[in-house]
Every structure is written in C-alpha cells, then in structure tokens.
Amino acid sequence: MATQSSTEAAVRPVNRRPRPMPWPLNIYQTAVGKKWVMAITGLMEIGFLVMHMLGNLKIYLGASALNHYAEGLREFGDPFAPREAVLWILRIGLLVAVVLHVHAAFSLWRMNRRTHPESYRSKRDYIAANWASRTMRWTGPIVLLFIFYHLSDLTFGGQNPSFQNGEVYHNVVASFSRPSVAAFYVIANLALGVHLFHGAWSMFQSMGINSPQYNSLRRVFAVLLTIAIIGPNISFPIAVQLGIVG
C-alpha cells in the first residue's frame, strides 16, 4: 500500500461528513444507509407495480370488469374505513417511498460525481458493468417524468382527450388511441424495465441478502420480475392500437 511521503500532498476527504443526527436518522446520512433506503423503497415500488399490473389486466375482461375494479380500489376497507381512506394511505406511503428513492439517488449521484470527477482518457473496457447498471441515472428520471404524465393522463385527466371520472376503461382507450401516446407508454415502460432489471437484483446486495447457495437466483428473479411486469404493461397500449381493446 502506498505510504505518505513528505513530498506528496496529503489526500484530503472529498466528501464532507454531516453532523450526526439521532438514530435511526443517522443511518440515512451515509451512502450505505441510503442504499438500504433505496432498496426498501424500491421494494415498495415493485409491490405497487405488481398490483398495478395485475389490476390492469382486467382491461381484457371488458369495461365493466375494469371499472368495477377501479371502484373497488376506492371502496377498499369498506365498511371499516371511509371511502378512499385506505387508498389514500397507500398513495401517501407510495409517495413517501418515491420521494425518498429519488432523494437518495440524487445525493448518491452527486457524491459519485465528486469522487470520480475525471474519467479515463482511453476507452474503458467494461467486463461486468452492463448497459442497465450504467443507465440507472437516465432510466430513473425518464420513469419519473413518465409518472407525472401518466397521473395527469389517467388519474387527474388533464392530459386526457375525453376524461370522465370513474370511467377508467373509456379513459384508457381514449388515451391509447393516439399512436404517439401509445408509443410513449411503450418506450417509458421499456425504460422502466431496464431500471427494474438492475434494481431488482441490486436491492439484494444493498440489503446484504447474500448466500452462495441462492446468489444465482437473484438475477433470475430480476429477469422474471421485469418480464412479468413490463410484458403486460406494454401490451395495453398495443392492444388498443390493434383494436383488440376498445
């Protein structure tokens, strides 16, 4: 290991250490802790994606099935909780997860720019780092922008050509009938798929879930999960465009 000689300038810390907050907030102050938060919030987002995809499959059962399911979401918890109460609790939980996920990603990205400011002058030859792992910081923002559009299109209706509250099937068909919008949904979901392919594997590392016996299954899990979520998701706009749904 290199030793410090008097002619060399001392190596100074690149990252400033924050004043420690009380436990457990201090965990989030380190990068390792932020990765834990990214993994746990990522897992919550995956849970949402699975439920969202499963619910949307009802579109193939017809308008009444999909609208009935959408109404069911609002009534979830009835008669114990008021209408939409459980839905809003889930929404707020998801919102907190997304905000934390984005904040952790952004601050880690800034940290890694500080610690790796100079790139190599010659061409790098990557062995393991793949396209998915190196584009997380692009696929993430793409998915985030897509979520804003998607909410405006099908939840609030601002971007929808003929939005009718509660008429989910109608709104979806109206939106996906526009070829450019259908293409955008497909592209955004492919970006989400690339993001998931790395994230669903990486979260095991971040949370220290590691055992030589099962390690190879982590990649298999990420691939299957990505296909299971993204496959149905991109089928919806394609089905509307092909006239299968509509």
Partner 1 sequence: MNLTLKVWRQAGPTAPGQFETYEARDISEDMSFLEVLDVVNEDLNDRGIEPIAFEHDCREGICGSCGVMINGQAHGPGFRTATCQLHMRLFKDGDSITVEPWRAASFPLIRDLVVNRSAFDRIIESGGFISVNTGSAVEANMIPIPKVVSDAAMDAAECIGCGACVASCPNGAASLFTAAKMQHLNLLPQGQAERWQRTQSMVETMEDFFGSCTSHGECQFACPKGISIDVIAYMNRDYLKSMSKNRKLGGQGLTT
Residues near partner 1 (CB under 8 A) are 1-4, 8-11, 13-15, 17, 23-24, 26-27, 30-36, 108, 111-112, 114-130, 133-134, 136, 198, 201-202, 204-210, 212, 215
168-176 helix and 63-75 helix, angle to the nearest 10 degrees: 120
- Cβ proximity to partner 1: between 13 and 243 the closer is 13
* Residue labelled with tokens 């594997």: 201
The rounded distance, in Å, linking the Cα atoms of 86 and 74 is: 8
Cα 59 to Cα 120: distance, rounded to the nearest angstrom:
50
Residue 128 or residue 243: which is nearer to partner 1 going by CB?
128
Least distance from partner 1 to the Cβ atom of residue 224, Å? 18
Report, in Å, the least distance between residue 137 CB and partner 1. 9
Residue with smaller CB distance to partner 1, 168 or 200: 200
Tokens of 49: 């994606």
Which residues are CB-neighbours of 101 under 8 A, at least 6 positions away? 37, 38, 41, 42, 45
Shortest Å distance, C-beta 148 to partner 1: 25
Nearest alpha carbon to residue 43 among 211, 207, 153? 207
Q: Which is nearer to partner 1, 31 or 228 (CB)?
A: 31
185 contacts 237 by C-beta, under 8 angstroms? yes
For partner 1, give the closer residue by CB, 92 or 209.
Answer: 209
> DSSP alpha helices (H): ranges in the chain?
31-56, 63-75, 85-115, 131-134, 136-154, 168-176, 179-206, 215-242
The nearest distance, CB 98 to partner 1, in angstroms, is 19
Least distance CB 238 / partner 1 (angstroms): 32
For partner 1, the closer of residues 118 and 180 by Cβ is: 118
CA atoms of 160 and 242, how far apart (whole Å): 20
Q: Give me the least distance between CB of 39 and partner 1, in Å please.
A: 9
User: How far apart are CB 173 and partner 1 at their closest, in Å?
Assistant: 40
Assigned token pair, 116: 């790796």
**Number of residues assigned to the chain:** 246
CA distance to 43, 151, 234, per residue, from 92 (Å):
16, 14, 26
| Cis, peptide link before residue 237, omega less than 30° from 0 | no
State which residue, 26 or 162, has the beta carbon closest to partner 1.
Answer: 26
